[in-house]
Structure 1
Amino acid sequence: MFDKILIANRGEIALRVLRAAKELGIQTVAVHSTADAEAMHVKLADESVCIGPPPAKDSYLNVAAIVSACEITGAEAVHPGYGFLSENAKFADILKAHNIKFIGPSPENIRTMGDKIEAKRTAKALGIPVVPGSEGGVADVATARKVAKDIGYPVIIKATAGGGGRGMKVALNESELEIAVSTAQSEAKAAFGNGEVYIEKYLQKPRHIEIQVLGDGQGRAVHLGERDCSLQRRHQKIWEEAHSPALNAAQRDEIGGRVARAMQEMKYEGVGTIEFLYENGEFYFIEMNTRLQVEHPVTEAITGLDLVQEQIRVASGAALPYEQSDIQFSGHAIECRINAENPMTFVPSPGRVDSVHFPGGLGVRVDSALYSGYRIPPYYDSLIGKLIVSGKSRSECLMRLRRCLSEFVVDGVETTIPLFQKLLGERDIIDGHYDIHWLEKYLAKLQA
């Protein structure tokens, strides 16, 4: 086991990793920008190192500064959290060259699954069902027309690099295709420095269902069930739950088994998530995230496993102690992402938190680095916390969530809490009848 790890992140995920490490008896090093000097994870870490000014490119993405911080403090490993450098194969390579362990999968696995086209080819070869589409990148409109004609409209054009909804455009028919391709290429080039795009069949009313996996890099891997992440705005998840209201145990076992076998064949190390669109009883692979997910707490709630501690253990060389039959699921869990944003316009609301009160009680967890007097900086993602509730059933979770949202107070900035309170009054949400387009349509009606 490691003696000391460096946490190359900020906010609630940095605090989450810190807590897991401390429970394993591991010393922690926090790195931070000048804007985060008073952040909670910095206050609680055994050591802290300032790595640059507020812009992420000069601090949290500053590889040289992070490596230097490891060498100064004697950190043996780096936990990247999510975002920033968590899926950067070059960063993992550099750490390896400096004899520092990257707590995550191998650089080779990151590269394979980080390229959307290569990931799709790999998934198909490993027996994972994929969305019909182009075999590789689409360079021009003529090629795009041929692919679209073969798979049928509507189609979606996606950037091969990146994510977060950028470089994604839908064409409902041939007349919309040319502008969709050129716009997606331009967006992808601007956002990721890579204008390559590919085409897939656009599913009309799919759900977003993902399978959590855990492997030890030695050929053993298990799945930890699914999460339903279908409530999304601009391809960004806001509500996740496990299990999915749309699946039964047989479907879960079948797709989970396929994914676990694929991870065994890849000799995948650490946690990862295989994401699918699900429609009419069929699963279609869209991508793999080779890192910890924002929504990992809902899986922890129904399995009783600490996924961050599992990451650290396998990174230290420990073999996975579980067979698939050892993984047991219990109850239901729901997570709401609380952002410092206007709940209707989603305009960010940074600033001073005058006071904060988190809900509590049985089956309630809040992952947040907020405290009274903390000033939310304007430079980073607006996620300020995650409310996770668990219970024996989905209906119990919904009642618990309603109660917790009424207790959750953040004074001084706007938050998205009122949006979740509204959602809990909608019959489709109560019944679990929603798809990835539901929230966008709902918000459009509210703003009309």
Structure 2
Amino acid sequence: MFNKILIANRGEIAVRIIRAARELGISTVAVYSTADKDALHVMLADEAVCIGPARSNESYLNMNNILEAAVATHAQAIHPGFGFLSENSKFVQLCEEMNIKFIGPSAEVMDAMGDKINARARMRAAGVPVTPGSEGEVYTTEEALKIADEIGYPIMLKASAGGGGKGIRKVSTPEELVPAFEAATAEAKAAFGNGAMFIERMIFPARHIEVQILGDSHGNVIHLGERDCSLQRNNQKVLEESPSVAVGQTLRDKITSAAVKAAQAVGYENAGTIEFLLDEASGNFYFMEMNTRVQVEHPVTEFVSGVDIVKEQIRIANGAELSVKQEDIHFKGHAIECRINAENPKFNFAPQPGKITNLFLPSGGVGLRVDSAMYSGYTIPPYYDSMIAKVIVHGESRFDALMKMQRALMEFDVEGVVTNIDFQLDLISDPHVIAGDYDTSFLGNKFLPEYLKEG
């Protein structure tokens, strides 16, 4: 097993990885920007190295500084968490060149699945259903108009090298396409340095269903069931649960088998997620993309499967076989995760950085977990993502989990900054959510208009 790993991330995921490593007897190195010198992950790690100023491109995206920190501290491996460099194949290659193990898939696999057009082609070849769309990258509005006319509206424009909701536009008519294409291209170029688009028919409304997979270097690939991530705002997930109320056992067998087939087709190694769109009316599902990293919402899968995904990532990177086989996985109960952000839902979810003057995290009882890097007196910097905590609950039934989440959110108290806790409490208490009657259109088209109208 590794003696020491470096965590190339910040916030709650860095804390999560440090705790998993410590339980495995592994020393940890935190990296931090000047804005994060008082962050919890810096305090918890065995060592900490400042890698630059507050701006991400000068610190958490600075490959040279991170690798220098790894070499200076004799770290044998780097865990990237999610975001930042977690899906950057160039960084993976640099790690390999410096004989530092990257805790994730290879650069080749990351490129194959990170480029959405190549990924779609690979999935088609493997027999995994994909949505109708463009065969290659689209660079001009003329090309886009022709392809959209062939596959039919509505369509989705997506950045070929994208992720995190960047460079995505929904287009319902030819009149909307040109300005949407230009805006998406500009956004993608700014975010990823690549403005290329691809086009696919929009399955909307739909269920956003994703399947957690694990693969090792010995050819073993398993799935850990599905998550329902349909409650989204601007293509960003707000609440996730496992299992999905929209997926019965027959469909579950089909969609998880497709996910395993997808991972096997590219020789996938480590933790990953295959994302699908489910058309509830027809029962058909379509490959959307693969995330070649640990997901924000991985804890709901850990609760229902009993598998510690982060520890499994570390073991796989160290060359071990998966600690469990598919027949060992038995799903139990229901789990829900709410993302807690420092933002104001009443003002277009504007970020609300600032100092936390008082903090009370919900606790008590079986099946409740809060993943966070907050503490009383901590100042949330304005430079990074606004997520400050995740509340995850597990119950014997979905109703048990819903009630436990309501109780947890009622107890959760953050003073000094505005958060979306009350918004999440209203959402988890909504009759449609309680009934499981929602899809990707629900939050934007139904819940938010009523929520904002109430003031």
Letter in 1 for 2:143: T
1:251 maps to 251
Whole-angstrom CA distance in 2 between matches of 1:205 and 1:211: 19
Paired residues of 1:220 and 1:267 also in contact (CA < 8 A): no
Coordinate RMSD, CA, aligned: 1.2
SS at match of 1:344: helix
Instruction: Give 1:250 shift.
Output: 1.7
Instruction: Give 1:407 shift.
Output: 0.4
Q: Deviations over 1:296-315 (max 9, x none)?
A: 00000001110000000010
1:88 maps to 88
Whole-angstrom CA distance in 2 between matches of 1:167 and 1:153: 19
1:238 maps to 238
1:224 maps to 224
Whole-angstrom CA distance in 2 between matches of 1:380 and 1:141: 33
TM-score, normalised relative to structure 2: 0.96
Whole-angstrom CA distance in 2 between matches of 1:146 and 1:64: 43
Instruction: Give 1:252 shift.
Output: 1.1
Task: Name stretches of at least 5 consecutive residues in structure 2 with no aligned partner.
Answer: none
Whole-angstrom CA distance in 2 between matches of 1:425 and 1:254: 31
Paired residues of 2:312 and 2:323 also in contact (CA < 8 A): no
Counting aligned pairs with the same residue, the percent is 55
Paired residues of 1:219 and 1:266 also in contact (CA < 8 A): no
Q: Deviations over 1:147-190 (max 9, x none)?
A: 22221111111111122222222221222222222222222223
Task: Name stretches of at least 5 consecutive residues in structure 1 with no aligned partner.
Answer: none
Letter in 1 for 2:288: I
Letter in 2 for 1:421: L
Letter in 2 for 1:358: L
- Once the two structures are overlaid, the 10-residue window that deviates more, 322-331 or 392-401, is 322-331
2:292 maps to 290
Residue 447 (str. 1) matches residue 447 (str. 2): no
Whole-angstrom CA distance in 1 between matches of 2:329 and 2:135: 36
Question: Which of 378, 387, 393 matches 2:397?
Answer: 393
Question: Which of 348, 353, 361 matches 2:351?
Answer: 348
Paired residues of 2:145 and 2:174 also in contact (CA < 8 A): yes
Instruction: Give 1:140 shift.
Output: 2.6
Paired residues of 1:368 and 1:386 also in contact (CA < 8 A): yes
1:372 maps to 376
Residue 332 (str. 1) matches residue 337 (str. 2): no
Whole-angstrom CA distance in 1 between matches of 2:373 and 2:183: 38
Whole-angstrom CA distance in 1 between matches of 2:36 and 2:53: 9
Instruction: Give 1:99 shift.
Output: 0.5
Whole-angstrom CA distance in 2 between matches of 1:258 and 1:73: 42
Distance 1:85 1:199, change over 3 A: same
Letter in 2 for 1:446: Y
Residue 384 (str. 1) matches residue 403 (str. 2): no
Q: Deviations over 1:41-72 (max 9, x none)?
A: 11111111111111111111111111111111
Paired residues of 1:398 and 1:424 also in contact (CA < 8 A): yes
Paired residues of 2:406 and 2:429 also in contact (CA < 8 A): no
Whole-angstrom CA distance in 2 between matches of 1:42 and 1:406: 30
1:196 maps to 196
Letter in 2 for 1:355: N
Q: How many pairs align?
A: 448
Q: Deviations over 1:115-167 (max 9, x none)?
A: 11111111111221111111111233332233222211111111111222222
Whole-angstrom CA distance in 1 between matches of 2:8 and 2:153: 43
1:415 maps to 419
Letter in 2 for 1:362: V
2:362 maps to 359
Paired residues of 1:166 and 1:187 also in contact (CA < 8 A): yes
Whole-angstrom CA distance in 1 between matches of 2:127 and 2:440: 25
SS at match of 1:273: strand
TM-score, normalised relative to structure 1: 0.98
Paired residues of 1:343 and 1:418 also in contact (CA < 8 A): no
SS at match of 1:137: coil
Q: Deviations over 1:375-433 (max 9, x none)?
A: 11111101100000000110111111111111001111111101011113321111111
Whole-angstrom CA distance in 2 between matches of 1:404 and 1:65: 40
Paired residues of 1:335 and 1:388 also in contact (CA < 8 A): yes
Letter in 1 for 2:53: P
Letter in 1 for 2:214: L
